[in-house]
Amino acid sequence: LARYAVIGNPIAHSRSPQIHAMFAEQTGKPLRYDRLLAPVDGFADAVAAFVAEGGLGLNVTVPFKLDAYALAAGRLSSRARLAGAVNTLSWRDGAWHGCNTDGVGLVSDLLRLGLRLAGASVLLVGAGGAARGVLQPLAEAGCARIHIVNRTASKAEELAASWRDSGVSPQTPVTGGSLADAALAGGWNLVINATASGLQNAAPDLPPGLYAPGAAAYDMMYGAQPTAFMQQAQADGAALAADGLGMLVGQAAESFYIWHGVRPDPAPVLAALREALK
Ligand code: ATR
């Protein structure tokens, strides 16, 4: 059986094996997909052992996306290079090739929700790896502008500047500032939470008055209950608030496509995961 796995630390909570098993069943592709727990300083060894056992592809999660980027240096997709991180490794011609499907997963989920990205003013909250990873697909989806805000404003400004230096999608201006700045220009059509604040069950400290009529809020985190960010958004008048379960399924679908050349249908898988969260 063709072998795949998700590698991380911790990894026990990962839903990727379930998702890929459902995609495999749907598309009739026989495969085995495991969880790999690697020591924090043992990524390269764990990956080498996986190849020795016949491994063909890896999804990479916290804290190894930068290690995976280094491992695939010279064999990175443009998505991976722009994201500065790799979440999908493919073993081809005796080497690992790196891609990043997180941003594509987000955009596909936003479209599934019926959001119009073309011409949208987007407020991106957070300036870490999760935020950086979605800039290219958002810009390429035709957003009118993207403003990045962060608790540490300098990081948002640096991320915006480094994005502008990349020269990609110059038709979408990308700027950076502080969380409080977000108020200076209300009227956002889409506010995306890419911070880790949800891990403490908290929402980022955003000012009120952000949402344009009909605007949406999207949290990259997910849970059984609406997240703190979703609750904040609804209280602030967002017309729609969604969590990131669909992004998780979307990034998995894109990885599946890279590995197997077939596009699975994310809808039934998302429905099954949502049911299992209850
Ligand atoms: P990731 O790769 O998941 O993006 P990261 O690089 O550690 O992780 O970035 C975490 C992001 O969440 C940062 O933007 C961080 O803000 P700072 O740069 O100011 O640290 C943000 N973050 C974490 N906890 C937060 C909180 N309670 N409120 C607001 N932002 C928070």
Q: Could you report the per-residue pLDDT of 143-187, keeping only the tens digit for each?
A: 999 999 999 999 999 999 999 999 999 999 999 999 998 766 679
Beta strands 211-219 and 240-242, pairing class? parallel
Ligand 1 pocket test, candidate residues 195, 220, 232, 247, most atoms within 8 A of CB = 195
Whether residue 249 is predicted with pLDDT greater than 90 in this model: the reply is yes
Long-range Cβ contacts of 160-165 (<8 Å, 24+ apart): 163/132, 163/135
Looking up tokens 């700027």 gives 175
pLDDT tens track for 62-94: 999 999 999 999 999 999 999 999 999 999 999
Q: What is the pLDDT of residue 186?
A: 78
Q: Which two tokens stand for residue 103?
A: 């941003």
**CA 129 to ligand 1: nearest atom:** 2
Contact 200/216 with Cβ under 8 angstroms? no
| Burial of residue 267, with CB atoms counted within 10 A of its CB: 0-12 exposed, 13-18 middle, 19 or more buried | exposed
* Cα 195 to middle of ligand 1, angstroms: 4
CA 23 to chain CA centroid, Å, is: 19
| Angstrom distance (rounded) from CA 177 to CA 197 | 18
Known catalytic membership, residue 65:
yes
Which band of pLDDT confidence, cut at 50, 70 and 90, is reported for residue 135?
very high
Nearest to 1 by CA among 32, 41, 37, 40: 32
Residue 119 pLDDT class (50, 70, 90 cuts): very high
Measuring CA to CA, which residue among 147, 96, 95, 90 is closest to residue 124? 147
> pLDDT value at position 185?
67
Can you tell me which atom of ligand 1 is nearest the CA of 179? 29
Q: Report the pLDDT value the prediction gives residue 11, as an integer from 0 to 100.
A: 97
Q: Which of 199, 193, 241 has its CA nearest to residue 220?
A: 193
Cβ(250)–Cβ(224) below 8 Å: no
Q: Which of 29, 65, 155, 278 is catalytic?
A: 65
* Tokens of residue 55, six digits: 């491994």
pLDDT, residue 181, reads 87
Q: What is the pLDDT of residue 269?
A: 98
- Look at residue 162 in the predicted model and tell me its pLDDT: 96
Q: Is the dihedral of CA 218, 13, 151, 79 positive or negative?
A: negative
196 lines ligand 1 (CB under 6 A): yes
pLDDT in tens, 25-52: 999 999 999 999 999 999 999 999 999 9
* pLDDT tens string 194-247: 999 998 999 999 999 999 999 999 999 999 999 999 999 999 999 999 999 999
User: Could you tell which of 60, 151, 155, 219 is best to mutate to test the pocket of ligand 1, judged by most ligand atoms within 8 Å of the CB?
Assistant: 151
- The model carries a pTM of 0.96
**What is the arithmetic mean of pLDDT over 263-269?**
97
CA-proximal residue: ligand 1, atom 12 (nearest): 195
C-alpha Rg value of the chain to the nearest Å: 18
Q: Cα–Cα distance between 53 and 45 in angstroms, integer?
A: 13
**Residue 39 phi/psi, 5° resolution?**
-60, 150
Show Cβ contacts of residue 33 under 8 Å, excluding neighbours closer than 6 positions: 3, 4, 5, 6, 16, 17, 20, 21, 24
Residues 60, 133: contact at Cβ < 8 Å?
no
Peptide bond into 63 cis (omega under 30): yes
